[in-house]
Structure 1
Amino acid sequence: MRLDTPTLLLVTVIVTFVVGTLFLLSWSQDRTARPLAIWGVAHVTGAAASGLLALRGVIPDAASIGLANTLMIGAYGLIWSGVRAFEGRPLRLDLALAGGALWGALCFVPDFYASLAARVILASAIAGGFCAAGAYEIWRGRAEALVSRYPAMVLLGAYALVYVLRIPLALLTPLPTNQDVMQSAWLAILCFVGMLFTVAIAFTFMALTKERVERVQRQAAETDPLTGIASRRALVAGAQALLAGSDRPVTLLLFDLDHFKSINDAHGHMVGDGVLVGFCCLVQALLPPGALFGRMGGEEFACVLPDRDVESALRHASQIRAAVARLSVPSLPGLAVSVSIGAAESAAIGRELDALLRHADAALYRAKRNGRNRIEVSAALRAA
């Protein structure tokens, strides 16, 4: 089957322009997603470059060769810049546009412009370099687990390889003359591969953006906005997973800051919020690795200690209670902070979270009733 280059170029123009428009429309719905805007401009620029290439022989060569390839190389630079923006790194638009600028400047050198091999080698090296650099930037951001990250990296790497292979081919195989270039299999294959790349990269980059938005939303739902610790929803889900995943003992601690309403009334809600944040920082510093700590609501917090019997958990609880009692703010000499703690253990109660919460809550209520600033264990542990 013979690939018709002018038709492929026309289809490439349409597909690339539509992809660029979709990127820009997506960006218009979320102006904070700057990579979408950059990728949109890159694809619209690429569509313009393909349109100029398609007019080879109809318009002056300065436009269909010099300007077209300058725009195309610039488009690849912008794709790389969009990837850097996606990964939270500086855009480096100077480097992104330098490749196209170098090409355009060399087109004014007669010896370079007259050599099709030199033009192919330079354009392939720059475009392939931008694709490889984009793949590397995505790989550098692998600490952020996104499902589409590795497909995007492989896609950009594969397209870089296509350009790299053009370099030895340009040196070892005969190239078409300027008059026959529109009928060249080289250009047809490159157009076809470029069109596939455009569609694939659009799906992949859109998927990356969508996955990040969903990840941020999920993190927001799982994080308490004031203290930065786990929300009730995240804590419950984590606790249930721990209880279901092992037969080893699990201890639940419930914390309640004593007289917290009085702190708010006497010192204001900003001080109250500061107390909550300070309490969380202190507890996180004293808890052992693997502990789940979250905010149940208001001034009540919970901690799940996996692989800890009640004696070990109570030692940590005692350290926390004593450390909280020592909290002080020199500018607020009247501020006193203490915490009451209730404990329940799975070995005595069972591995249902609701049952553990009920017993720990009853123990916490008993600590409040018996004078606050103390630790009480569940009735099942006291009976044992």
Structure 2
Amino acid sequence: MNAPAILLALLFGTATVMTIALAVAWSHFGRQKHVLTWTASYAVGMLQWMANAGGFFLKSPFWFIITGIGLIISGSLLAIGVRQRSGKPLRLAGFAVPAAIVIAAMAFAIGPVGSQIMQGFIIPAYVGALLAVSAFSLWPKDRRFTPPELAFCAALLAFVVVQLALAGSATLIRGPEAGKDIYRLIFSIFMPTIYVATAVTAVLVVAGDLALQLRTQMRHDPLTQVLNRRGLDEAAAQAIAQARRHKRPLALVVCDLDGFKGLNDGHGHIAGDQALRGFARLLVSAVRRGDVVGRMGGDEFGLLLLDSAATAAAEVMERVRAEVAHLALPGVPVTGLRASFGVAELVPTDQQLEDMFARADAALYTAKKDGKDRIAIWSEAA
């Protein structure tokens, strides 16, 4: 088997393995749109490398045209998938129209014109542009790159360099064979490595997203989408350490719904779930970005308010308390819901959430004992 056959077999094998791996990831781990789009990209890549082999061994312009179309479609799908993953605006016409123009130009260069310079320049230049768009679309907002994202971005940018080098070397072609050595050298040395690297890092990104999804599920309550007790404990450890380090106040609020049991008994658990989701939304909307909201169990919630003294936290919770009675639940004309709140502030002897929780829970007990639908601060309840 000669070198071109080995090279094309390697590229075809990589595309095949990626198609299978991404199809399995899409089928079993959330069915995200971008994973399906990447699966389609590598599936087209399989067909494109087969067409490339046909064009090379049969010396057929038709198969080279099919190869070019496959490269354009595969690169477009990769870029579309990156934008889907990042949540950035996606206009399919922005990919389809340029792709159609490039395909027409490529077919004209291979067919009627027979220009090998145009043939070797148009496709690598356009694919390089698509990969550059993919790399910049991968850039996350309001956070740093994860290691898999950084590796994938680096692989895409390296792919861009290879494509531009191929496009540049195509301008040196002077005849059927003259000038092709540099083009073939760049393709044979760099294309397999960078194609495999891009494929591997794309799988790492999918795996990293899955790991993040699992961590998020482990730390969040599936009903209300706020932190669960485990997530709240982890957030509290960081918040307490930060408050100590910067000598800033920290307040813990423990609260629950006063009429929750009656709502469950009278209207069923669906109404109860609606009430919990609505109460959680009220709590999240009341606090600032960076503050922490978690469900501790049942209808009990805990909030950590950073840089807030107990009195300031009580003022924030007063707005929530006033709004609880107006929670609208489908099928329940009058909910009768109220909420009680206990507030405690970080003191020097506190080491973990349990230390603050004991005082906040005591304050909540005082609020219940004094008639419910009120806020109690531990220093006043002690």
In the superposition, the TM-score normalised over structure 2's length comes to 0.83
Write the distance in 2 (CA, Å) between the matches of 1:255 and 1:54. 72
Measure, in 1, the Cα distance between the counterparts of 2:286 and 2:69: 59
Report deviation, 1:352: 2.5
Give the corresponding residue for 1:22. 17
Provide closer, same or farther for how the CA distance between residues 141 and 333 of structure 1 changes in structure 2, counting only shifts above 3 A.
closer
Say which is worse superposed, 133-142 or 361-370, in terms of deviation: 133-142
Q: Which residue identity does 1:202 align to in structure 2?
A: A
One-letter amino acid of the structure 2 residue matched with residue 284 of structure 1: V
How far did residue 44 of structure 1 move? 0.8
2:18 corresponds to which letter in structure 1? F
- Asked whether 1:103 is paired with 2:100, we answer no
Q: CA deviation at 1:52?
A: 2.8
Greater shift, 324-333 or 216-225, is seen at: 324-333
On the 8 A contact 1:235/1:294 being kept in 2, the answer is: yes
Q: Is the 8 A contact 2:228 2:295 kept in 1?
A: yes
Q: Which amino acid aligns with 2:61?
A: A
Secondary structure at 2:138 match in 1: helix
SS for the counterpart of 1:278 is helix
Unaligned runs of 5+ in 2: none
Work out which of the residue numbers 229, 237, 243 in structure 2 matches 1:232. 229
In the TM superposition, 1:184-333 aligns within 5 A as 184-247=181-244, 248-325=248-325, 327=327, 332-333=332-333
The amino acid across from 2:229 in the alignment is R
Structure 1 residue ranges without an equivalent (≥5): 1-5
Q: Which amino acid aligns with 1:80?
A: A
Name the residue aligned to 1:376.
376
Paired-residue identity, %:
25
Q: Deviations over 1:125-155 (max 9, x none)?
A: 2232222232233237786854332332333
**Given that residues 19 and 202 in structure 1 are in contact (C-alpha distance below 8 angstroms), is that contact kept between their aligned partners in structure 2?**
yes
Q: What are the Cα deviations for residues 76-126 of structure 1, in whole angstroms up to 9, with x where unaligned?
A: 3443344345445466674586344542344331xx20x322222223322
User: Residue 61 of structure 1 corresponds to which residue in structure 2?
Assistant: 60
Q: Work out whether residues 81 and 96 of structure 1, in 8 Å CA contact, stay in contact via their aligned partners in 2.
A: no
Q: Is 156-165 or 255-264 further displaced after alignment? A: 156-165
SS in 1 for 2:347: helix
Measure, in 2, the Cα distance between the counterparts of 1:260 and 1:101.
Answer: 66
Judging changes above 3 Å, is the alpha-carbon distance between structure 1 residues 327 and 42 closer, same or farther for their aligned structure 2 residues? Answer: closer
Q: After superposition, what is the alpha-carbon deviation per residue over 1:179-204, rounded to whole angstroms, capped at 9, x for unaligned?
A: 567x7242132122111111110111
CA apart distance, 1:72: 4.0
CA deviation after TM superposition for structure 1 residue 330, in Å: 10
Q: Deviations over 1:8-66 (max 9, x none)?
A: 422322222222222222234233230342232133134214423542xxx24335644
**TM-score, length-normalised on structure 1?**
0.83
Q: Whose Rg is larger?
A: 1
Residues 84 and 90 in structure 1, CA contact (< 8 A), matched pair in contact too:
no
State the Cα distance separating 1:262 from its structure 2 match.
Answer: 0.8
Q: Work out the CA distance in 2 between the residues paired with 1:155 and 1:52.
A: 28
User: SS of the residue aligned with 2:223?
Assistant: coil
Superposed displacement of residue 323, structure 1: 3.1
User: Separation in 2 of the partners of 1:80 and 1:201?
Assistant: 13
Superposed CA RMSD: 3.1
Of 11-20 and 234-243, deviating more is 11-20
* Residue equivalent to 2:37: 35
After superposition, the Cα gap between the structure-2 partners of 1:90 and 1:22, relative to the gap in structure 1 and judged at 3 Å, is farther
Assess if the C-alpha contact under 8 Å between 1:35 and 1:86 holds in 2.
no
The total of aligned residue pairs comes to: 368
Change (3 A) 1:49 1:129: farther
Q: Which moved more, 1:9-18 or 1:283-292?
A: 283-292
CA contact (8 A) 2:106 2:118 kept: no
Secondary structure of 2:365's aligned partner: helix
Check the 8 A contact 1:321/1:373 in 2, yes or no: yes
Residues 260/18 of structure 1: CA separation in 2 closer, same or farther (3 Å cut): same
